[in-house]
Amino acid sequence: MITVGILLDHRAYRKLQSGRTGNERVRLYKKAGQRLGIKLLYMSLTDIHLRRRKATGLSHNGNHYLRITQTVPKVIHNRAFPSGGLERRRLWSLNQISYVFNSQNRYSKYRIHRLLQQNSGLNQHLPASRSYSRRDLRAMMEIYDTLFIKPQRGSIGRGIMRIRRMKGERWRWTLRTSRGSQSLSKKAIMHKVQQIVGHQPYMIQKGIELASYQGRPYDIRVSVQRGQDGKWQITGMVGKVARKGSHVTNVAKGGTVKSCEQLFRHSRLPVQATQARVAGVSLEIANYLGRKLYRLADIGLDVGLNREGEPYFIEMNCRDQRYSFAKAGLMRTFYRTYENPLRYAAYVARRR
């Protein structure tokens, strides 16, 4: 029987036996492992003995977990964010003795855009983007009416600013919702943005007039994963709708989930053709980044649609929490997002 390691954050690992692992639905790994005949070892970076090539972890046996020590599994699915330099070094060393896929799961948003810009076939699906500087902000304000200024390493929509040209020389600055927006001069806008950015790495991105649902913009979360043949596939897609007055679609920031079919029909977009367009662009992105980034195998892409239904890449998530599928009632798809990484792990284990 193949053994696959599931590398968890220490907090989720500690709560594994109680079942309170938050958004990490470990029970679905268990279900998939039983179905596929794969033994799972749940691990934490703190309990891996690199010199001895041993790992102490938890293995489910019947109705409870057993703490066991065994040889480090040949294949490990990384679901942990290393905290600090020591854990990052331990993860790097673990990569030398095991095939850890998604071993790096935090990338600069701007770096990903720069990589994709090197693919001429994808340029039409990328909003114009630059690394933040006052000079580049001023230059892009001369060209575009709407801009987003976002942290290069932010998550769940934190810190994303939107500025929009109004009549005359005024601009509308918004951090989260329209209730907190301000009308400012160009000079004041630039000062306001600089105050928030400080010395942190931010990026500037042209605003796309996204398709909307009942007046609220939406985008599509696309789960793209390698499967049992090692090839990228679309596991599922679901819509994320911003809350009223907000420009951020993240569910953790008050966004809601809807089926793509419901959203596309509301926007008067052809359902099957639009789904195929989003899937095609997502697969092209995954295949390209999979050749550029080390052992990438499980990602969630945010893809926006303009009002004509043309897809635009927004960002990539390398530790997709997947719960949008569960909130939309797409339980079969939700389960498959946990099963496919195990299918891929079994494929890699056989080849190794």
For 113-124, write each residue's pLDDT tens digit. 999 999 999 999
Tell me the C-alpha distance between 337 and 301, whole Å: 13
Q: Worst-scoring range by mean pLDDT, 6-20, 263-277, 300-314, 328-342?
A: 6-20
DSSP 238-266: EEEEPPTTBS---GGGT-EEE-HHHHHHH
Tell me the C-alpha distance between 104 and 111, whole Å: 14
Tell me the C-alpha distance between 293 and 280, whole Å: 20
Beta strand extents in the chain (DSSP E only): 3-7, 39-43, 48-49, 54-61, 64-71, 75-78, 99-101, 129-131, 146-151, 161-165, 170-174, 182-185, 202-206, 212-213, 216-226, 232-241, 256-258, 298-305, 311-317
The confidence score (pLDDT) of residue 247 equals: 81
For 39-92, write each residue's pLDDT tens digit. 999 999 999 999 999 999 999 887 789 999 999 999 999 999 998 888 999 999
The confidence score (pLDDT) of residue 5 equals: 98
Tokens representing residue 250 in the block: 């993240």
- DSSP letter at 135? H
Q: Is the dihedral of CA 239, 242, 248, 254 positive or negative?
A: negative
128 φ, ψ to 5°? Answer: -55, 130
For 201-252, write each residue's pLDDT tens digit. 999 999 999 999 999 999 999 999 999 999 999 999 999 999 887 888 878 7
**CA end-to-end distance (rounded Å), the chain:** 14
Tell me the C-alpha distance between 94 and 259, whole Å: 39
Residue of 58, 68, 2, 66 lying closest to 32 (CA atoms): 2
* pLDDT for residue 178 is more than 60: no
Q: Worst-scoring range by mean pLDDT, 120-124, 134-138, 150-154, 293-297?
A: 150-154
For 299-347, write each residue's pLDDT tens digit. 999 999 999 999 999 999 999 889 899 999 999 999 999 999 999 999 9
Tokens representing residue 110 in the block: 């701007």
The confidence score (pLDDT) of residue 130 equals: 95
Residues 6+ apart with CB under 8 A from 7: 43, 44, 45, 76, 77, 78, 79, 80, 100
Judge contact between 150 and 129, C-beta under 8 A.
Answer: no
CA 88 to chain centre: 20
Tell me the C-alpha distance between 226 and 334, whole Å: 15
H-only helix segments in 72-217: 85-97, 109-117, 134-143, 186-197
- Strands 202-206 and 39-43 turn out to be unpaired
Residue 176 confidence class, pLDDT cut points 50, 70, 90: low
* pLDDT for residue 158 is more than 80: no
Q: Let me know if 37 is exposed, middle or buried by CB neighbors in 10 A (0-12, 13-18, 19+).
A: exposed
pTM higher than 0.75, yes or no? yes
Tell me the C-alpha distance between 310 and 274, whole Å: 8
